[in-house]
């Protein structure tokens, strides 16, 4: 089964995260805005990973003094994907 989510981020530099998954495995991930090197790196690392595994690894990561981060927002996007 294919899943797609376009998640509008909150509290971080990136504006949106676009994620695709098939049969519970992330097939594509793109951040719109944010720190290009970091967001590209995170996106590359999660491709091929199971959605639930990615959530476990990145949920709760903070960026400096912010209560969230781009990886944490990606976990939120993936949770939204699972709920739909």
Over residues 13-71, the pLDDT tens digits come to 999 999 999 999 999 999 999 999 999 999 999 999 999 999 999 999 999 999 999 99
Q: Are 60 and 67 in contact (CB under 8 A)?
A: no
- The CATH number of whichever domain residue 58 belongs to comes to 3.30.390
Its pTM stands at 0.96
Number of domains in the chain: 1
Residues spanned by the domain of 66: 2-83
Looking up tokens 């709760």 gives 60
The distance of Cα 52 from the centroid of its chain, to the nearest Å, equals 12
């Amino acid at each position: 089964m294919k899943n797609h989510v376009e998640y509008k981020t909150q509290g971080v530099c990136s504006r949106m995260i676009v994620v695709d998954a098939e049969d519970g495995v992330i097939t594509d991930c793109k951040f719109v805005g944010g720190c290009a090197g970091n967001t590209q790196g995170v996106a590359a690392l999660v491709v091929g990973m199971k959605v639930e595994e990615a959530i476990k690894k990145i949920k709760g990561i903070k960026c400096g003094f912010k209560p969230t981060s781009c990886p944490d927002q990606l976990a939120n996007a993936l949770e939204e994907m699972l709920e739909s």
